[in-house]
Amino acid sequence: MAFGHKTFRCSACYNVVFKRYVEIGRVAYISFGPHAGSLVAIVDVIDQNRALVDGPCTGVKRQSMPFNARQKFVKRAWEKAQVTEKWAESNWAKKIEARQKRNKVIKHEVKRLQKEAAKKA
């Protein structure tokens, strides 16, 4: 964007998260299922989870296919990357755990004080 004589650029322009968009006309590689290893063309996007694909030269008939991975593949990649262990070591997870411990102590203390106040009354 240009405002007057200065040009501003957002940091998102440099750190693109998604490099392979699902668009009509793109060639896609099927990584699992009965047609694994085949190339197809995206003919139409049905909704946010499925696309209509066709592989006339690879023997894949026109059909609807999901473009998200199955749970077992996600689980396998999750375990291979040790996501749970890395999460436990992160500052974000440590802050959440500390907050939960602090809230637990505060709730226990409030209940104790309420019991003492009830005994006095």
In whole numbers, what is the pLDDT of the chain averaged over residues? 79
Residue carrying the six token digits 């694909």: 53
- SS3 labels along 50-116: EEEEEECCCCEEEEEEECCCCHHHHHHHHHHHCHHHHHHHCHHHHHHHHHHHHHHHHHHHHHHHHHH
Percent pLDDT > 70 in the chain is 82
Cα–Cα distance measured from residue 64 to residue 43, given in angstroms and rounded to the nearest whole number: 10
pLDDT digits (tens, 9 = 90+) for 77-117: 778 888 888 888 999 889 999 998 988 888 888 888 888 88
Please, which pLDDT band fits residue 62 given cuts at 50, 70 and 90?
very high
Which residues 6+ apart lie within 8 Å of 8 measured at CB? 1, 2
